[in-house]
């Protein structure tokens, strides 16, 4: 009961000194706002990176056909023609921890339909391509084993092709000219947009690897092989195993293995250092809020010395005074914290809708600043409260 009454005293004291309370509350609120916005930006950036990795294919290694070692040394290299479907089959068969493998022969060809024409990437591959690259089929179906075995002239088209060549008309069942070869469209891929590495997968058409090699490009080799491993931890060991396997088969290292996740991580480093800078600023703002709280509280204790002396004379114990002043700091921090969270949430929403920064309102961005504000209140409120509780009642009563 006593503690509840002390809480009431604290509330009344805050209401009595409105301007002072307002000042320390707003100092706190600004700090919390800064931290909330920062956490929102951080969460948004992490989410964006996660989304990108998902879109580009999770835990994906790319084996690119490269130059033979001797050509590379001469610096006059042409890309090799030694990477073949048998390699991709060997990878799928022999390496552990592999989820899916898709061989790809890739190039650019002119597409024609209904009197319109456009250039597009033509990827010859297998049904696993959909898994490795995490494509979603929006309509119709993807290519299947029978399409590959039979060397069928069927194609799945990307979103941009539907928009630019078909002008939004339903393309499934239509016949599309790839170079001079007619293909029947069996499916449409959902659009992915541009990824942060500058890649665009929406302007592709996907056809069976057999058909692409024989009819479109007239070659028997591959451009690259996509290898999806079971987990992130296996990326490194699988890269080594892949290198060993292919070096044995080719008797040279004429390929290059790329880990896209690693590339993205490097890219997001730039963002990270930027966020560290904002982090420093937010910490500074919060620190200033805390110091503001500290000085306002000290001033308040000084101003209310007589009041404290009186409370002691009327039977308050030191800890009653201590608790009252701590509670005052906590209440200021709490109100400032809630205000800061509201302003921070507005800031996050504005940042994500008005700027290109991906910001996201996460649970972390709510509870972390909140807890932080309470910690700051305790840290910066403790000293003034201790000063108040330590006052000598006689000296306190006599001052004025």
Partner 1 sequence: MIECRGICKSYERPGEPRLDVLKSVDLNIEPGEFTAVVGPSGSGKSTLMNILGLLDRPDSGNYLLGGEPVSNLPHARLASLRNKKIGFVFQQFHLLPRTTALENVELPLVYADTDNISDRAAQALCRVGLQDRMTHTPAELSGGQQQRVAIARALVNDPEIILADEPTGNLDRESGAGIMALFQELNESGRTIIFITHDAALAARAGRVLTMNEGILAEEPAQPVGGVA
Are 188 and 197 in contact by the 8 Å Cβ rule? The answer is: no
Q: Which is nearer to partner 1, 118 or 313 (CB)?
A: 313
Residue 340, CA distances (Å) to 153, 280, 365 in order = 61, 17, 11
HSE-up (13 A, CA, CB side) for residue 185: 28
Task: Tell me which of 101, 312, 331, 359 binds partner 1, using CB under 8 A.
Answer: 312
Rounded distance between C-alpha atoms, residue 172 and residue 4, angstroms? 72
CA 267 to chain centre: 12
Phi/psi of residue 303, nearest 5 degrees: -65, -30
Instruction: Map residues 181-200 to x or -, x wherever contact with partner 1 holds by CB under 8 A.
Output: --------------------
5 lies in the site for partner 1, by CB under 8 A: yes
Structure tokens at 400: 């004025």
**Count of residues in contact with partner 1, rule CB under 8 A:** 24
Q: Which is nearer to partner 1, 247 or 317 (CB)?
A: 317
Q: Cβ 309 to partner 1, closest distance in Å? A: 8
Instruction: Map residues 292-311 to x or -, x wherever contact with partner 1 holds by CB under 8 A.
Output: --------------xx-xxx
Q: Which helix (H) or strand (E) holds 101?
A: strand 98-113
Q: Which is nearer to partner 1, 67 or 312 (CB)?
A: 312
19 lies in the site for partner 1, by CB under 8 A: no
Task: Tell me which of 198, 218, 314, 356 binds partner 1, using CB under 8 A.
Answer: 314
What Rg value do the Cα atoms of the chain yield, rounded? 33
Helix %, strand %, coil % of the chain (to 5): 60, 20, 25
Q: Which is nearer to partner 1, 16 or 170 (CB)?
A: 16
Extract the runs of DSSP E, i.e. beta strands, from 126-200.
137-140, 154-157, 175-178, 181-189
Are 228 and 59 in contact by the 8 Å Cβ rule? The answer is: yes
Residue 281, CA distances (Å) to 34, 37, 80, 275 in order = 8, 11, 52, 10
Rounded distance between C-alpha atoms, residue 99 and residue 226, angstroms? 11
Q: Cβ 336 to partner 1, closest distance in Å? A: 23
Q: What is the DSSP letter of 234?
A: G
Are 142 and 156 in contact by the 8 Å Cβ rule? The answer is: yes
Q: Tell which residue, 54, 31, 35, 52, has the closest CA to residue 358.
A: 52
316 lies in the site for partner 1, by CB under 8 A: yes
Instruction: Map residues 72-111 to x or -, x wherever contact with partner 1 holds by CB under 8 A.
Output: ----------------------------------------
Q: Which is nearer to partner 1, 312 or 377 (CB)?
A: 312
400 lies in the site for partner 1, by CB under 8 A: yes
Q: Which is nearer to partner 1, 125 or 311 (CB)?
A: 311
Q: Cβ 386 to partner 1, closest distance in Å? A: 15
Q: Which is nearer to partner 1, 12 or 93 (CB)?
A: 12
Q: Which is nearer to partner 1, 173 or 315 (CB)?
A: 315
Task: Tell me which of 1, 19, 78, 356 binds partner 1, using CB under 8 A.
Answer: 1
* Angle ∠(46,48,51) on CA atoms, nearest 5: 110
Q: Cβ 8 to partner 1, closest distance in Å? A: 8
Q: Which is nearer to partner 1, 6 or 91 (CB)?
A: 6
Chain residues 356-395 in contact with partner 1, contact rule CB under 8 A: 393-394
Q: Under the rule (CB under 8 A), what is the footprint of partner 1?
A: 1-2, 5-6, 9, 12, 16, 306-307, 309-318, 320, 393-394, 397, 400
């Amino acid at each position: 009961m006593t503690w509840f009454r002390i809480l009431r005293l604290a509330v009344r004291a805050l209401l009595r000194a409105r301007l002072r309370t307002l000042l320390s509350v707003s100092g706190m609120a600004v700090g919390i706002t800064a931290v909330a916005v920062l956490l929102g930006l951080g969460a948004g950036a992490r989410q964006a990176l996660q989304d990108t990795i998902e879109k580009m294919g999770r835990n994906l290694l790319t084996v690119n056909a490269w130059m033979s070692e001797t050509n590379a040394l001469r610096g006059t290299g042409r890309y090799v023609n030694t990477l073949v479907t048998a390699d991709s089959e060997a990878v799928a068969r022999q390496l552990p921890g592999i989820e899916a493998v898709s061989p790809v022969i890739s190039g650019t060809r002119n597409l024609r339909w209904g009197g319109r024409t456009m250039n597009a990437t033509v990827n010859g591959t297998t049904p696993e391509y959909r898994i490795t690259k995490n494509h979603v089929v929006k309509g119709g179906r993807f290519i299947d084993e029978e399409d590959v075995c039979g060397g069928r002239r069927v194609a799945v088209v990307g979103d941009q092709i539907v928009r630019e060549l078909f002008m939004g008309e339903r393309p499934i069942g239509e016949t599309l000219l790839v170079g001079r070869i007619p293909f029947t469209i069996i499916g449409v891929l959902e659009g992915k947009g541009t990824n942060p590495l500058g890649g665009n997968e929406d302007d592709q058409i996907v056809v069976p690897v057999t058909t692409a090699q024989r009819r479109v490009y007239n070659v028997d080799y591959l451009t690259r092989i996509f290898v999806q491993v079971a987990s992130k931890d296996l990326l490194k060991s699988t890269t080594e195993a892949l290198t060993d396997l292919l070096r044995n088969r080719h008797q040279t290292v004429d390929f290059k293995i790329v880990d896209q996740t690693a590339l993205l991580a490097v890219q997001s480093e730039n963002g990270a250092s930027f966020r560290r800078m904002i982090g420093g600023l937010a910490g500074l703002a919060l620190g200033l809020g805390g110091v503001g709280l500290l000085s306002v509280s000290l001033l308040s204790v000084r101003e209310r010395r007589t009041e404290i002396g009186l409370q002691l004379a009327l039977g308050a114990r030191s800890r009653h005074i201590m608790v009252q002043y701590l509670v005052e700091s906590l209440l200021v921090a709490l109100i400032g914290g809630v205000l800061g969270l509201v302003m921070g949430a507005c800031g996050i929403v504005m940042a994500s809708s008005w700027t290109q920064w991906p910001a996201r309102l996460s649970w972390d961005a709510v509870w972390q600043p909140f807890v932080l504000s309470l910690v700051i209140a305790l840290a910066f409120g403790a000293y003034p409260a201790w000063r108040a509780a330590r006052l000598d009642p006689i000296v306190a009563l006599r001052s004025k």
